[in-house]
Amino acid sequence: MRVIATVAAWLDARLQIEAPVLGVVQHPVPSRTASWAYVFGSAAITAFALQVLTGILLALLYVPSAAEAWNSLQALNHDVAFGWFIRALHGWGSNFMLAIVLLHMVQVVLFGAYKFPRELTWIVGVLLLLVTLGMAFTGQVLRFDQDAYWGLGIGASIASRVPIIGSKVVALMLGGPIIAGATLSRFFALHVFVVPGLLISFVAVHVLLVLNLGINEWPMPGRIVRRDTYMREYHDLTHAHGVPFVPGAVGKDLVFSAFIVAAIAACAYVLGPFGPAGQPDPTIIQTAPKPDYFFLWLYALLSFLPPAAETPILLIAPPLIIVGLLVLPFVAGEGEKSWRRRPVAVLTILLVAVTLGTLTHLGTHTPWSPVMDAWSGAPVPTAQLTRRSALERRGALVFQSKQCRNCHSLGNSGGQRGPALDAVAVRLTEDQLTRQVIQGDGNMPAYGKNLTPAEATALVAFLETLHPRDELPARDASRTP
């Protein structure tokens, strides 16, 4: 022990950091902030540290070349001792980090922590959210598989809609005219150098601000933030009733951070690494690309926006949202901090959470996508074929062979792009069915050119049989006596 003390004293005589470090770790914090609600910031840093560690480990073997990346990921998964585990840690770590960052943000909003004097802390926090999303997107590209390839295509298609300079933005994003070697190289540089550099700088400023301004106190209903009195009140709170951060408040941070690392490791061990999915070969088109979960909400949104509104919303909404977040502390910089007195904040968070949750759920199940193999893979339910005439059965065959099933379900199997047809005869008369099939309408293509009159007649005859036993098919009132 004496040797350690001697070495420490020798070092500190030169570095002279003991006093400032002690000042930082023992700075007083309001006693009620030693709470489980205040552990997300430190947990985000812990998750990021794990990402840096596992990222460096992966970079030892990953080859950032369009020709080799996929093979090097396969080698990591199968040929290297615990390569799969390091990949899994990095993948699950990114999911956890994003989730913790979002929880941290929710806590900050609910506790009014962005109010005076912590406006800049909030602004840097918003930048941190953006660069974290940037890490997530660029990281998804480095898992250079089919999803990454076509995901880049989606990104390029969105970028290309920028007026006038769209094609130049795409070229700069892809590094050339197509998604290829230069694309992966630049996303590697972004993911490994540029964005982490920004992230580390922003974290440093963020933590510096937290230390200099002090952690946000536990909000009490009725304790109003005013610019002229807040600093004095906070000083009283920390110095009269505060505790030193170490050891007063750090315990819960330590426990939660360890819990997060344990949870990441457990997910990684049990559930394994993400992909890579199929090879990034653009000539293999039998694929249904999908983004990772944190962009599923956007993927879902893109199928629901009206086509004409899509481009304006894609280009205008993100800047508006970001500006809205950035100006929040200037619009609501004073007043109540407690969530009990801030219904708008609580409702906004609930609204955003429900919206993102719903869109993510829809993005997981993609009811708008045709089921590409339903026509050959999902048989017509037997009940809908028994006691049918030859013409109606012929119609069932047409129904399958013309891929109707890819968009329309029968007996809960098949696509959900169009309405389920189990009871279509109740909704549409024979003439309406014929017209809908031949001319299409709403969101349905016209099949007139691809059905012979005999096929169309058979198909409509089959559709006419699709009604519940106790409900009669719709009839044209003008024709039935």
Partner 1 sequence: MPVQMNRRDLLVKIGLLFNGVVGVLIGMPIVRYLLSPLARAAHGESGGAWLSLGSTDDYPSGETRLATFRNPVVTPTDGETANVACWVRRIDAENFQVFAVNCAHLGCPVRWFPQSGLFMCPCHGGAYYSDGRRASGPPERGLFEYPYRVDGRQLLIKAGEMPTPGTSAARNDGRSPCA
CB closer to partner 1 out of 180 and 213: 180
411, two tokens: 């007996």
Asked if 31 is part of the footprint of partner 1 (rule: CB under 8 A), the reply reads: no
Give the chain's radius of gyration (CA, Å).
29
Q: Out of 403, 409, 436, 465, name the contact with partner 1 by CB under 8 A.
A: 403
Output the smallest distance, CB 464 to partner 1, in A.
20
What gap in Å lies between CA 101 and CA 116, rounded to an integer?
Answer: 21
Output the smallest distance, CB 298 to partner 1, in A.
11
Asked if 181 is part of the footprint of partner 1 (rule: CB under 8 A), the reply reads: yes
Q: Please give the backbone phi and psi of residue 148, each rounded to the nearest 5 degrees, phi first.
A: -65, -45
Which span (113-121, 128-136, 404-412, 429-437) binds partner 1, by CB under 8 A?
404-412
CB closer to partner 1 out of 191 and 206: 191
Output the smallest distance, CB 284 to partner 1, in A.
8
How many residues sit in the footprint of partner 1 (CB under 8 A)? 71
Q: Out of 53, 57, 59, 182, name the contact with partner 1 by CB under 8 A.
A: 182
Q: Out of 406, 409, 436, 465, name the contact with partner 1 by CB under 8 A.
A: 406
Q: Say how many Å lie between the first and final Cα of the chain, rounded.
A: 105
Contact letters for partner 1, residues 96-115 (x by CB under 8 A): --------------------
Q: Out of 45, 53, 68, 313, name the contact with partner 1 by CB under 8 A.
A: 68
Asked if 318 is part of the footprint of partner 1 (rule: CB under 8 A), the reply reads: no
Which span (24-32, 220-228, 240-248, 282-290) binds partner 1, by CB under 8 A?
282-290
Which span (23-31, 62-70, 77-85, 386-394) binds partner 1, by CB under 8 A?
62-70
**Distances from the Cα of 57 to the Cα of 81, 91, 133, 264, 458, angstroms:** 12, 13, 22, 16, 63
Asked if 358 is part of the footprint of partner 1 (rule: CB under 8 A), the reply reads: no
Q: Could you say which residues in the range 456-475 bind partner 1, by CB under 8 A?
A: none
Asked if 417 is part of the footprint of partner 1 (rule: CB under 8 A), the reply reads: yes
Output the smallest distance, CB 171 to partner 1, in A.
3
Output the smallest distance, CB 401 to partner 1, in A.
5
Q: Could you say which residues in the range 160-179 bind partner 1, by CB under 8 A?
A: 160-162, 166-172, 174-179
Q: Please give the backbone phi and psi of residue 215, each rounded to the nearest 5 degrees, phi first.
A: -70, 150
Torsion from C-alpha of 256, 260, 266, 268, nearest 10 degrees: -170
92, two tokens: 């699950």
CB closer to partner 1 out of 160 and 338: 160
Q: Could you say which residues in the range 188-227 bind partner 1, by CB under 8 A?
A: none
Q: Could you say which residues in the range 423-452 bind partner 1, by CB under 8 A?
A: 440, 443-447, 449-450
Q: Out of 24, 53, 61, 65, name the contact with partner 1 by CB under 8 A.
A: 65
- Peptide bond just before 247 cis, omega within 30 deg: yes
Output the smallest distance, CB 462 to partner 1, in A.
16
Output the smallest distance, CB 457 to partner 1, in A.
17
Q: Out of 333, 368, 411, 429, name the contact with partner 1 by CB under 8 A.
A: 368
Q: Out of 6, 74, 157, 348, name the contact with partner 1 by CB under 8 A.
A: 157
What gap in Å lies between CA 305 and CA 285, rounded to an integer?
Answer: 25
